[in-house]
Amino acid sequence: MSGSLNSSNYEVINSEICDLLNTGKYSYVAINIYSNSNCTAIARDEEGNDLTNKIILNVSKILAHKDENGNDVNDKITFTFNDNSTLILDDEFDNYWYILTGVPMKFTKF
Protein backbone atom coordinates (compact mmCIF):
# COMPACT_ATOMS: atom_id res chain seq x y z
CA MET A 1 0.00 0.00 0.00
CA SER A 2 1.64 3.16 -1.17
CA GLY A 3 0.96 6.59 -2.57
CA SER A 4 1.50 10.31 -2.29
CA LEU A 5 1.63 11.57 1.28
CA ASN A 6 -0.64 14.59 1.62
CA SER A 7 -3.88 15.60 3.27
CA SER A 8 -5.97 14.88 0.16
CA ASN A 9 -5.01 11.21 0.60
CA TYR A 10 -5.89 11.16 4.31
CA GLU A 11 -8.99 9.01 3.81
CA VAL A 12 -7.04 6.55 1.62
CA ILE A 13 -4.22 6.30 4.17
CA ASN A 14 -6.71 5.81 7.00
CA SER A 15 -8.55 3.09 5.04
CA GLU A 16 -5.30 1.31 4.21
CA ILE A 17 -4.30 1.31 7.89
CA CYS A 18 -7.72 -0.06 8.87
CA ASP A 19 -7.58 -2.70 6.12
CA LEU A 20 -4.21 -3.96 7.36
CA LEU A 21 -5.34 -4.07 10.99
CA ASN A 22 -8.67 -5.71 10.13
CA THR A 23 -6.90 -8.73 8.61
CA GLY A 24 -6.20 -9.85 12.16
CA LYS A 25 -2.59 -10.59 11.21
CA TYR A 26 -1.03 -7.34 12.40
CA SER A 27 -0.81 -5.58 15.73
CA TYR A 28 0.52 -2.31 14.30
CA VAL A 29 1.05 -0.56 11.01
CA ALA A 30 4.45 0.89 10.11
CA ILE A 31 5.20 3.51 7.50
CA ASN A 32 8.25 4.19 5.37
CA ILE A 33 8.36 7.73 4.00
CA TYR A 34 10.24 8.54 0.81
CA SER A 35 11.39 11.74 -0.87
CA ASN A 36 10.79 10.44 -4.40
CA SER A 37 7.78 8.92 -6.16
CA ASN A 38 9.69 5.71 -6.96
CA CYS A 39 9.95 5.08 -3.21
CA THR A 40 13.69 4.50 -3.36
CA ALA A 41 15.04 7.49 -1.37
CA ILE A 42 14.18 7.36 2.34
CA ALA A 43 13.14 10.75 3.73
CA ARG A 44 14.60 12.15 6.94
CA ASP A 45 12.96 14.08 9.74
CA GLU A 46 14.12 17.50 10.96
CA GLU A 47 16.73 15.84 13.19
CA GLY A 48 18.20 13.79 10.34
CA ASN A 49 16.63 10.47 11.35
CA ASP A 50 15.45 8.08 8.65
CA LEU A 51 11.67 7.83 8.37
CA THR A 52 11.61 4.03 8.10
CA ASN A 53 9.50 1.48 9.92
CA LYS A 54 7.83 4.16 12.00
CA ILE A 55 4.95 2.58 13.92
CA ILE A 56 1.87 4.77 13.56
CA LEU A 57 -0.17 5.61 16.64
CA ASN A 58 -2.29 8.37 15.13
CA VAL A 59 -2.91 10.16 11.85
CA SER A 60 -4.83 13.42 11.64
CA LYS A 61 -5.66 16.01 9.04
CA ILE A 62 -5.75 19.79 9.42
CA LEU A 63 -7.72 21.68 6.80
CA ALA A 64 -6.57 25.01 5.41
CA HIS A 65 -7.77 27.94 7.49
CA LYS A 66 -6.78 31.34 8.83
CA ASP A 67 -5.03 31.49 12.19
CA GLU A 68 -5.90 33.95 14.97
CA ASN A 69 -3.75 36.61 13.27
CA GLY A 70 -5.45 36.22 9.91
CA ASN A 71 -2.56 34.32 8.33
CA ASP A 72 -3.28 31.46 5.95
CA VAL A 73 -2.56 27.97 7.26
CA ASN A 74 -2.15 25.26 4.61
CA ASP A 75 -3.62 21.76 4.65
CA LYS A 76 -1.48 19.43 6.73
CA ILE A 77 -1.32 15.78 7.68
CA THR A 78 0.12 14.83 11.07
CA PHE A 79 1.54 11.47 12.15
CA THR A 80 2.27 10.49 15.74
CA PHE A 81 4.60 7.53 16.18
CA ASN A 82 5.26 5.10 19.01
CA ASP A 83 8.70 6.63 19.68
CA ASN A 84 6.93 9.84 20.81
CA SER A 85 7.89 11.66 17.62
CA THR A 86 5.49 13.63 15.46
CA LEU A 87 5.72 14.45 11.77
CA ILE A 88 3.68 17.32 10.33
CA LEU A 89 3.62 17.56 6.54
CA ASP A 90 2.43 20.75 4.87
CA ASP A 91 0.75 20.11 1.50
CA GLU A 92 2.14 23.35 0.09
CA PHE A 93 5.80 22.65 0.88
CA ASP A 94 6.32 18.92 1.47
CA ASN A 95 6.38 16.28 -1.25
CA TYR A 96 6.65 12.76 0.13
CA TRP A 97 5.45 9.27 -0.70
CA TYR A 98 4.79 6.33 1.58
CA ILE A 99 4.58 2.58 1.88
CA LEU A 100 2.55 1.02 4.69
CA THR A 101 3.31 -2.42 6.10
CA GLY A 102 1.68 -4.48 8.79
CA VAL A 103 3.72 -5.43 11.86
CA PRO A 104 2.90 -9.09 12.57
CA MET A 105 1.37 -10.03 15.89
CA LYS A 106 3.67 -11.82 18.29
CA PHE A 107 1.92 -14.65 20.04
CA THR A 108 3.17 -15.76 23.43
CA LYS A 109 2.43 -19.01 25.24
CA PHE A 110 2.17 -19.03 28.99
- pLDDT per residue as tens digits for the range 55-82: 999 999 999 999 999 999 999 999 999 9
In a domain, 109, yes or no: no
Please give the tally of structural domains in the chain: 1
In a domain, 110, yes or no: no
Residue 1 binned pLDDT confidence (cut-offs 50, 70, 90):
low
pLDDT, residue 3, reads: 86
Q: Which domain holds residue 68?
A: 2-104
Convert the chain into a string of H (helix), E (strand) and C (coil): CEEEECHHHHHHHHHHHHHHHHCCCEEEEEEEEECCCCCCCECECCCCCECCCEEEEEEEEECCEECCCCCEECCEEEEEECCCCEEEEECCCCCEEEEEEEEECCCCCC
pLDDT, tens only, 31-56: 999 999 999 999 998 889 999 999 99
In a domain, 21, yes or no: yes
In a domain, 76, yes or no: yes
Task: Calculate mean pLDDT across residues 6-31.
Answer: 94
